[in-house]
C-alpha cells in the first residue's frame, strides 16, 4: 500500500536518488576522515641548516614540527633537484621515471627529461581517491605544457614549471615565467618574493578546496635556499655579525649542537675541512655577507612554514593534516657570480655561497649536491601529524628514501598504487611506506638503497656503503662506525666491496643507467 501511494504521488523515482544521496554522504564522511597531506620540499638545503639539526639559523616553526612530530635523521634523497623530484612524485628511482639526469632530452628513455607514461604521480593516484590535489612552487620535471602538473594529476598549480633561481620578480638573470593553472601571470614586482608568494598561493588553494568538501594534498616546492643569494633586508639584518668568526667556528658549533640534540652520535668526527683557514681569507666581509644572506633565505622559508601552520590551525584543519618536510639534495658547492659589482642579497646580484659555506651547511658530512657521499644525499625528514603521531619528539635513525614519500601518502589516504593508469602499464614501485615507523621503534634495516647521478654512484646495505665519484675508485665505509665517510675500508674488505659493486651494477643495468657523459652514448634510432 505504501509503495502504491508513493507511486501514485510520483515519488517512486526518487527512491534510487535518495539511496544514491545517502551513498554519497557516506563516501564524503569517509573521505573527510582521511588526513590532509602536505609535502614541503626545500631546494639545496644542507643537513645542518635547521635549528633542530644543529643550526644557529632561526627556524622555530620547523623545530616545533620536529619537537611535536618525528625527525628522521637518516633520510635520503636522489642528490639533485630533478631526480629527487621525480622520485618523490613517482616512488620510482629517477631513471625509471624518465629523469636519469635533468630536464633536457638526451635521446634515451631513461634520460628524456620529463616524467614518462610508465609512472604515476602521487597527485594522479590521490586525485582518483577523492583528494583535491594542489601544487605551488617549482615543478622541474617537464618543461612543455603537456608535461606540467595539470596533466600529471594536479587540480591546481601555481609556480614555475622550469627550474628555480627566482626570488624577486622580474629577474635580469633567469627567464622564469610564472603560471597559474596554465595561464601566465605577472606578479607585482614591488611585493613579490617567491618564498612568500608560493605560500600565499598554496594557502589560497587550500582555502578554496574547503568548498569541495574533500581532503587535500598539497605539494609545496620552494626554491629556497637555492642560489642566487637574494633575501629581504629585514631578514638579512637579523644575521649581521653572526658569521664573523668564519667557517670552522660555525661548523664546530653546529657539530657540538648536533651532539647535544642526539642528531649524531657523541663519537662522530667532522669530515675533512673543505675551506681555508679563516685568517687567510682575503675578503672576509664578502664571505660573511654570503652566509648572512643564505641564513636569511632559510629564515624566510621557516617564517612561511609558520604562516601555513597558522592558517591550518585557525581554519580547524591542523589536527588531521600530515606534513612532510625534506630537502631535494645536500648543500651546493657550485660557484656563481654573474654581477660581482652588485650588493649581495639584492635583486641586482646573482651569486652563490660556494663550497666553503656548503661544507658548513652539510655538517658533519662530506661532499655536496649531485654527489653520492652523505653530504650530497642525506636530508632531515620531519613528519608532523597531531592526530596520528602519539610519540612526539622522537628521533628515527632507520634509513629511509625519498621514494618512500609516495607509498606513505597512499597508505595514509587508503589509496592503492595502480598496475595500470590511462591504459598504460605502470612500473612496480621502488619505495616503501614508512608509516609503520611512526609507531614502532627504530629497526636495523638491511634494505638496499642505490644512487647514480652524472657517473657518481653508491649503494647502501645495512651500515655498509660503497660510493664513488665519477671516474674515481669505489670506496667502502661502515656508516655505523664512520658516519662521515672518513676511513675507506675497500682495501681491507675487497670481497665485500666487490659484492656491493656487483649489486650496484645489476641495479644500474636493470634501470638502464648509462656511462657518463650521456652524449658519448646517445643512440640514434
- Over residues 162-171, the mean pLDDT reads 95
Query: What's the pLDDT at 116?
Result: 98
Reduce the DSSP state of residue 443 to 3 states and report it.
coil
Averaged pLDDT score across all residues of the chain? 93
- Nearest residue to 68 (alpha-carbon basis) of 307, 309, 405, 264: 309
Task: Give the whole-angstrom CA distance, residue 156 versus residue 202.
Answer: 9
**CA separation for the pair 199, 366 (Å, rounded):** 32
Q: How far, in Å, CA of 167 to CA of 226, rounded?
A: 10
Per-residue model confidence as pLDDT tens digits over 320-337: 999 999 999 999 999 999
Cα 470–chain centre separation? 24
Closest among 399, 403, 401 to 417, alpha carbons compared: 403
Whether 160 shows a pLDDT value over 60: the answer reads yes
C-alpha cell at 334: 657550485
Beta-carbon contacts of 395 under 8 Å, excluding residues fewer than 6 positions away, are 70, 71, 73, 262, 263
Catalytic residue among 52, 81, 82, 119: 81
Say what percent of the chain tops pLDDT 90. Answer: 90
To the nearest whole percent, how much of the chain has pLDDT over 70? 92
**CA distance linking residue 411 with residue 388, whole number of Å:** 13
DSSP annotation string for 445-506:
---EEEEEETTEEEEEETTEEEEE-TTS--EEEETTT-TT--S--TTT-HHHHHHHHHHHHH
Determine the 3-state secondary structure of 378 from DSSP: strand
- List the chain domain ranges: 33-447
Q: Global pTM? A: 0.93
Rg, the chain, Cα only:
24
- Checking if the pLDDT of 210 tops 60, the result is yes
> How much helix, strand and coil, in percent to the nearest 5, is found in the chain?
35, 15, 50
- What lies within 8 Å, CB to CB, of 65 at 6+ separation is 305, 309, 323, 325, 382, 384
Cα gap 500→493, rounded to integer Å: 11
Active-site hit among 52, 74, 95, 140:
140
33-447 folds as Alkaline Phosphatase, subunit A (3.40.720)
Work out the pLDDT band at 415, boundaries 50, 70, 90.
Answer: very high
Q: Note if 119 is an active site residue.
A: no
pLDDT at 9: 33
Query: Tell me, what's the pLDDT at 28?
Result: 42
Name the strand (E) or helix (H) holding 63.
Answer: helix 60-67
Is 81 an annotated catalytic residue? yes
Predicted local confidence at residue 94, as pLDDT: 98
Amino acid at each position: 500500500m505504501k509503495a502504491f501511494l508513493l507511486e501514485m504521488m510520483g515519488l517512486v523515482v526518487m527512491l534510487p536518488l535518495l539511496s544514491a544521496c545517502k551513498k554519497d554522504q557516506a563516501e564524503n564522511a569517509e573521505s573527510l576522515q582521511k588526513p590532509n597531506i602536505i609535502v614541503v620540499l626545500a631546494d639545496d638545503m644542507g643537513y645542518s641548516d635547521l635549528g633542530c639539526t644543529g643550526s644557529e639559523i632561526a627556524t622555530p616553526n620547523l623545530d616545533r614540527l620536529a619537537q611535536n612530530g618525528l625527525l628522521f635523521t637518516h633520510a635520503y634523497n636522489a642528490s639533485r633537484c630533478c631526480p629527487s623530484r621525480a622520485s618523490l612524485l613517482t616512488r620510482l628511482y629517477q631513471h625509471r621515471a624518465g629523469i636519469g639526469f635533468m630536464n633536457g632530452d638526451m635521446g634515451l628513455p631513461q634520460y628524456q627529461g620529463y616524467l614518462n607514461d610508465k609512472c604515476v604521480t602521487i597527485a594522479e593516484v590521490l586525485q582518483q581517491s577523492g583528494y583535491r590535489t594542489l601544487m605551488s612552487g617549482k615543478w622541474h620535471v617537464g618543461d612543455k605544457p603537456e608535461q606540467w602538473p595539470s596533466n600529471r594529476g594536479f587540480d591546481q598549480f601555481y609556480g614555475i614549471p622550469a627550474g628555480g633561481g627566482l626570488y624577486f620578480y622580474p629577474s635580469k638573470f633567469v627567464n622564469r615565467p610564472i603560471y597559474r593553472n596554465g595561464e601566465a601571470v605577472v606578479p607585482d614586482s614591488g611585493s613579490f618574493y617567491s618564498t612568500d608568494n608560493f605560500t600565499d598561493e598554496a594557502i589560497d588553494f587550500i582555502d578554496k578546496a574547503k568548498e569541495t568538501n574533500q581532503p587535500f594534498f598539497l605539494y609545496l616546492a620552494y626554491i629556497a635556499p637555492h642560489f642566487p643569494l637574494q633575501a629581504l633586508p629585514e631578514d638579512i639584518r637579523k644575521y649581521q655579525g653572526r658569521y664573523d668568526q668564519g667557517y670552522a667556528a660555525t661548523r664546530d658549533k653546529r657539530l657540538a649542537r648536533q651532539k647535544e640534540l642526539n642528531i649524531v652520535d657523541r663519537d662522530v668526527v667532522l669530515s675533512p675541512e673543505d675551506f681555508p683557514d679563516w685568517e687567510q681569507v682575503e675578503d672576509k666581509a664578502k664571505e660573511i655577507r654570503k652566509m648572512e644572506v643564505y641564513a636569511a633565505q632559510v629564515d624566510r622559508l621557516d617564517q612561511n612554514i609558520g604562516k601555513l601552520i597558522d592558517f591550518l590551525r585557525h581554519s580547524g584543519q591542523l589536527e588531521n593534516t600530515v606534513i612532510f618536510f625534506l630537502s631535494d639534495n645536500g648543500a651546493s658547492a657550485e660557484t656563481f657570480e654573474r654581477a660581482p659589482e652588485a650588493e649581495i642579497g639584492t635583486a641586482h646580484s646573482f651569486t652563490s655561497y660556494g663550497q666553503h659555506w656548503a661544507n658548513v651547511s652539510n655538517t658533519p658530512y662530506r661532499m655536496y649536491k649531485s654527489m653520492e657521499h652523505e653530504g650530497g644525499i642525506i636530508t632531515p625528514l620531519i613528519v608532523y601529524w597531531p592526530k596520528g603521531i602519539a610519540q612526539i619528539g622522537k628521533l628515527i635513525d632507520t634509513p629511509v628514501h625519498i621514494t618512500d614519500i609516495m607509498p606513505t601518502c597512499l597508505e595514509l589516504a587508503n589509496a592503492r598504487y595502480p598496475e595500470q593508469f590511462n591504459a598504460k602499464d605502470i612500473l612496480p614501485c621502488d619505495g616503501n611506506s614508512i608509516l609503520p615507523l611512526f609507531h614502532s621503534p627504530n629497526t636495523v634495516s638491511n634494505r638496499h638503497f642505490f644512487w647514480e647521478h652524472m657517473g657518481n654512484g653508491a649503494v647502501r646495505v645495512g651500515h655498509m656503503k660503497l660510493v664513488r665519484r665519477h671516474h674515481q675508485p669505489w670506496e667502502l665505509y661502515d656508516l655505523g662506525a664512520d658516519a662521515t665517510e672518513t676511513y675507506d675500508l675497500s682495501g681491507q674488505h675487497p670481497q665485500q666491496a666487490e659484492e656491493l659493486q656487483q649489486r650496484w651494477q645489476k641495479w644500474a643495468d636493470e634501470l638502464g643507467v648509462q656511462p657518463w657523459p650521456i652524449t658519448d652514448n646517445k643512440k640514434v634510432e
